[in-house]
Amino acid sequence: MAEQRVKWVIGNWKMHGRLAENAALLQAVADGAAAMADAIRIGVCVPTPYLAQTQALLSGKSLAWGVQDISTYTHGAYTGEVAAEMACEFGATLAIVGHSERRAYHAESSELVASKARRALQAGLTPIVCIGETLEEREAGTTEAVVGAQLDAVLNLLSVEEAQRIVIAYEPVWAIGTGRSATAEQAQEVHAFLRARLVQKDASLACVALLYGGSVKPENAQVLFGQADIDGGLIGGASLKSEDFLAICEQAKVASHAH
C-alpha cells in the first residue's frame, strides 16, 4: 500500500530500574527524543510502580509511556493485577500484552492475550501485542503456523476498527535477550507474512504497525528498520542505556526518511 507508515521505537524496561537511575534515564531519553518526535513515535514501557515518576518526568515531553501488562478486568478481587484504567490515570497510552516472558512464565494463552488487547483498547491504551516462535518451532518449520495462530486469536476477537488501533511486535523467542537477533531477511519474511494475514482480515489493516523485537542494538537497527514491512522496534536490554536507545531511535528516523 502506498500509504506512509510511521516508525515506532518502544522500550521495554522489563523488571529493571530504581527511582534514581530511572530519573537519569528518562531525562536523557526525553532530551534526545525531542529532536526526533516529529519523525517517529518513541515510548517507554516501565515497571508499574514507576508510572507516577514517569508521568511527572515526561509530562509535556514528546515521549509516550506505558505498562508491560494489564489485567483483563476493570476491577475486583484479582490480587496483584493492574487494571488498564489505573495505568491511564498516570498518563499511560501504551500497554505491552502477550510478551513471551508472560506467555512462558505465567502461562498466558493467545486467547487471554487477545482479551488483554481488547481491554487495553477499551480503556484507551494502544496495545503492543507480542507474538513469536520458539527456536524449536522455527527449526520444525512451524514459524508461520505459530505466529499466524497467535495473530488470529487477536483478530478473531477484535472488530476491524479495533484492530486498526493495535501494534504488533514480532519477537522470535530465541532472539529475546540472547544477543542473537533474527537477520533482517528472516524478520522481513515473517513481517510480510503477518501483513498479508492482516490484509486478509481487512484491507485497512495494511497500516497496522509491525515492530520487530529481539536483541535490537544500534549496530543492527538500520538494516532491520530498512526492511519494507518492519515499522520499528520493541527494545529490551538496549532501552536501559539512553545512548543505545537514542541511537536506535536515530536509525528509525533515518529509515523513515528513506521510505
Task: Map the footprint of ligand PEP across residues 114-173, applying CB under 6 A.
Answer: 171
In whole angstroms, the minimum distance from the beta carbon of 203 to ligand PEP comes to 29
Restricting to residues 170-189, which ones interact with ligand PEP according to CB under 6 A? 171, 176-177
The span from the CA of 149 to the CA of 170, in Å, is 13
What residues between 192 and 231 interact with ligand PEP by CB under 6 A? 213-216
Catalytic (active site) residue 171: yes
For residues 240 and 26, the answer to whether their CB atoms sit within 8 Å is no
Residue 114 Cα distances to 66, 99, 121, angstroms: 18, 12, 11
Determine whether 257 is an active site residue: no
Closest residue (Cβ) to ligand PEP?
236
At its nearest, how many Å lie between ligand PEP and the CB of residue 76? 29
Interacting residue with ligand PEP among 12, 71, 126, 143 (CB under 6 A): 12
Catalytic one of 133, 137, 171, 250:
171
Give the shortest CB-214-to-ligand PEP separation in angstroms: 5
Number of residues that bind ligand PEP (CB under 6 A): 14
Catalytic position from the list 99, 101, 133, 250: 99
Give the catalytic positions in this structure.
99, 171
Sites of contact with ligand PEP (CB under 6 A): 12, 14, 171, 176-177, 213-216, 234-238
